[in-house]
Structure 1
Amino acid sequence: MSEQLSREQVNQAGHLAIDGVDALDLAKQYGTPLVAYDVTAIRDQIHRFRSVFEQNKVDYAVSYASKAFATIAMYQLIAQEHGHIDVVSGGELYTAMKANFPMQSVSFHGNNKPTAELEMAVDQHVGVIMLDNFHEIKLLSAILAEKSAEINVMLRVTPGISAHTHEYDQTGQEDSKFGFDIKSGQAQDALKQVLAEPRMNMLGVHAHIGSQIFEVNGFVMAANKLVDTVADWHDELGYEPKVINVGGGFGIRYTETDDPIAPEDFVDAIVKAVKVRTTERQLATPEIWIEPGRSIVGPAGYSLYTIGSRKDVPGIKPYVAVDGGMGDNIRPALYQAEYEAVLANNPLAKPVETVRIAGKYCESGDILIQNQPLPETKAGDVIAILDTGAYGYSMASNYNRNPRPAVVFVEKGKAKLVVERESFDDLVRLDKKL
């Protein structure tokens, strides 16, 4: 059995169970490929994050980084937990509106927000707009003046700290498309511009150093850098922040070789660092915000597939093909992300071979798992790839004109369809004939 699973996730029939529901029953009822979420696991992780802040006695916000997985039902779940969300597009904001998510608990990110999306955010009275560049300051200023509106803003800054992760996931270094650079003085120049804008209420600063990070040192360094930056601003300009937002990027375990600390332990280290540094710099401890995405939904997600064809060539590792692939999980093809899988009808079975789990898409690189030990399998068997809750469905495509999968939420023995499977009619709905 994969070390990613516990004995409680195997039911009396010996099958994989997702929060009390047999994975084979889910596959039979909703078809495959299927993305299933353990809702209890999502709620529990949010509660663990909250507990850290409350134990440290600081004001806080747990803001779900919804680019990891954004649907109406997901936003409703976060609302039930009285959480915040951050959105990075008009589409995510619109989805939150359709979910009746409280707009005052929305942060709007992005390095190139179009005018129409900024207007949408202002009209909806979102809680805060994260300013990313000088162009955006001018653009938002004009929109606020035109609408006679006011809004909370924060500056996204780059602290000059590079996370030890894939280069595509690094965002906090000086050479980044995101944010105002601290070292060059850009961030302080941006602060002066914002403070001169009577319609902008400057809440604080935000930084995000990367994703899928296993080491706590980078977060502590970033937290200290943010405190030092705002302390310098306080000394030089009289500005005192209400919020320090340290972003997210807390790593999770995808395979047995991954060894991250618990996501809440990252947060505990960050909070303690901020409290110590603000005391040293004679600042009041501000609210501390985090923006976890992957660590909330990643481990809660399962991708169920049905095995189809198999290719065996002497001396070459077999290919076991499934009915999904890079269209519903591009991460392995895009940046060699690794996962583990189990046979849903017997996750405890001992492996007898190591195979490649191949997708059905017309690309040689459509391999979901390169080295997967499995028991004997046959066409029609259901396999479950573990920890696929983040950036799988949200990055899904219709490549090869394949419909995107359905999504179900499972909680305490009950399953609910929250995203319907696309049909062939959906694929051509926007097409126009010559």
Structure 2
Amino acid sequence: MLPQERPPQAPADLNRIQPAIWPRTSTRTDGALTVGGVDVRDLARDFGTPLYVLDEDDVRSRMRDYAEAFAGSDVHYAGKAFLCKEIVRWLHDEGLGLDVASGGELAVALSVGFPPERITVHGNNKSVAELSRALEAGVGHLVVDSFEEIARLGYLAEQMGKRPKVMIRVTTGVEAHTHEFIATAHDDQKFGLSLGHGAAAEAVRRVLALPQLELVGLHSHIGSQIVDTGGFEVAARRLARLLVEIKDEHGVVLPELDLGGGYGIAYVEGDDAPDIKELADGLREIVTKVCVDAGLPVPRLTVEPGRGIVGPGGITLYEVGTVKDVEGLRTYVSVDGGMSDNVRTALYGADYTAVLASRASDAAPMLSRLVGKHCESGDILVRDCHFPADLAPGDLVAVSSTGAYCRSLASNYNYLPKPAVVAVSGGKARVIVRGETEEDLLRGQL
């Protein structure tokens, strides 16, 4: 979502916790925000701030929502959104698969015994070491992204005596309605093999020419934070037609079709997240029609939600440090984190919702900009928001919908330690990712 050109109107009730934007267990108790039955004031006292807070019940319920909507298909969580050992355990409990995009993400999954056959390995430049580890582990699928990778994987598979299941990432030419940095299906970008220019068809020929590789399907991903489902439907039609062309040219019927993820969530009032059940039904209908009309069996579908599962269940908690009025413009509210724990506003122009979390207030709304403590003028967390005019240093503020990509993209800019991640459920909180210390930052320096 691009930054708004005009500041938004102040909400009618600054204390309201909107259900579409905040974790499913969120409420106010004695004025303070509670998530998972835990008061944010207790979280700040026990674990410090900044703090990532993840509503376990929310995340698990969304895993089940996707599994139910796509019953008869495979749901693989896109680990890049946020991955840690505990998330992998939840995925295992709920019966989902997992997509990884690096050797490190694969190592997280394998470290807790996640079934390798439920893992798909992505990436546009997988190293020999990453491919070798994936082959050795026996991952369920490898998605190839270039001609070089097809040859590299074929050589390694032959050397190791493996025959991996392979999917070809196809660039379908669909222009997703999202920020250019997270649109991934147009031709002029680094991912995939072009359908329109014939590279995808040539990749099929090359994989089929290598008996040590088992081509099982096609893969597509059109982008991230997409709320207009039309792009998914266009991509599904084009992939289904490619399946027909493969059958006509090679006499091969591919049994699988991966339509990727990228389903959007609500960040601010007025955002519309796609209805997952409607989306699932629509995609199945399109693929079924194209394949049946061509006399092909309907392939098994796979989808890869990441943000849609973990994004809404996360918030980030901060303590206010300074409140600076810039006469005639707005008030700058500075907190103890910033772009090191959420770079998405600076990177994509992302919008967020923020509230005073440690108490309720009846004060008048104050047009504000929530900013961090980094030595950058672009260190902005929420570009335009409203806080009560009595906001003061020491208050806690919370930013909603930060479960996806915030911790994954976190950095140590200005030598700030990365915050802890705490899971809350049933009135209890526990650390699932330890916060860094200054000793962690200095470790490894000579």
Distance of 2:256 and 2:361 partners within structure 1: 47
Q: Note if 1:22 corresponds to 2:35.
A: no
Distance of 2:316 and 2:127 partners within structure 1: 34
After TM superposition, give the deviation of residue 9 of structure 1 in Å: 2.3
Q: Note if 1:196 corresponds to 2:209.
A: yes
Q: Note if 1:331 corresponds to 2:344.
A: yes
- 2:413 corresponding residue in structure 1: 399
Match of 2:116 among 89, 103, 108: 103
> After the TM superposition, which residues 227-246 of structure 1 pair with which residues of structure 2 at under 5 Å, given as runs?
227-246=240-259
Distance of 2:244 and 2:47 partners within structure 1: 54
After TM superposition, give the deviation of residue 411 of structure 1 in Å: 1.9
- 2:231 corresponding residue in structure 1: 218
Go from structure 1 to structure 2 and tell me whether the alpha carbon gap of 1:22 and 1:110 turns closer, same or farther (over 3 Å shift). Answer: same
Gaps of 5+ in 1: none
After TM superposition, give the deviation of residue 149 of structure 1 in Å: 1.5
- 1:45 corresponding residue in structure 2: 62
- State the superposition RMSD in angstroms: 1.5
After TM superposition, give the deviation of residue 313 of structure 1 in Å: 2.9
- 1:161 corresponding residue in structure 2: 174
- Contact 1:252/1:263 (CA < 8 Å) preserved in 2? no
- 2:403 corresponding residue in structure 1: 389
TM-score by length of 2: 0.93
- 2:97 corresponding residue in structure 1: 84
Go from structure 1 to structure 2 and tell me whether the alpha carbon gap of 1:410 and 1:277 turns closer, same or farther (over 3 Å shift). Answer: same
For this pair of structures, how many residues does the alignment match? 428
Tell me the secondary structure at the aligned position of residue 111 of structure 1. coil
After TM superposition, give the deviation of residue 392 of structure 1 in Å: 0.1
Distance of 2:261 and 2:368 partners within structure 1: 34
After TM superposition, give the deviation of residue 2 of structure 1 in Å: 4.4
* Residue identity matched to 1:83: L
After TM superposition, give the deviation of residue 178 of structure 1 in Å: 0.8
- Contact 2:25/2:35 (CA < 8 Å) preserved in 1? no
- Contact 1:10/1:347 (CA < 8 Å) preserved in 2? no
Cα deviation code 1:63-113 (max 9, x no counterpart): 000100011111111111111110001111111111221111110000011
> After the TM superposition, which residues 145-184 of structure 1 pair with which residues of structure 2 at under 5 Å, given as runs?
145-184=158-197
How high is the sequence identity, in percent, across the aligned residues? 41
| Segments of 4+ moved more than 3 angstroms | 5-8, 346-351
After TM superposition, give the deviation of residue 257 of structure 1 in Å: 3.4
Go from structure 1 to structure 2 and tell me whether the alpha carbon gap of 1:262 and 1:244 turns closer, same or farther (over 3 Å shift). Answer: same
Q: Note if 1:265 corresponds to 2:263.
A: no
Gaps of 5+ in 2: 1-15
* Residue identity matched to 1:47: R
* Residue identity matched to 2:173: G
Distance of 1:221 and 1:7 partners within structure 2: 32
After TM superposition, give the deviation of residue 314 of structure 1 in Å: 1.9
- 2:368 corresponding residue in structure 1: 355
> After the TM superposition, which residues 244-259 of structure 1 pair with which residues of structure 2 at under 5 Å, given as runs?
244-259=257-272
- Contact 1:299/1:389 (CA < 8 Å) preserved in 2? yes
Go from structure 1 to structure 2 and tell me whether the alpha carbon gap of 1:384 and 1:273 turns closer, same or farther (over 3 Å shift). Answer: same
Go from structure 1 to structure 2 and tell me whether the alpha carbon gap of 1:60 and 1:422 turns closer, same or farther (over 3 Å shift). Answer: same
- Contact 2:69/2:276 (CA < 8 Å) preserved in 1? no
Cα deviation code 1:16-70 (max 9, x no counterpart): 111211122111111100001111111111211122223xxxx311000010001
Distance of 2:379 and 2:187 partners within structure 1: 34
- 1:418 corresponding residue in structure 2: 432
Distance of 2:159 and 2:176 partners within structure 1: 40
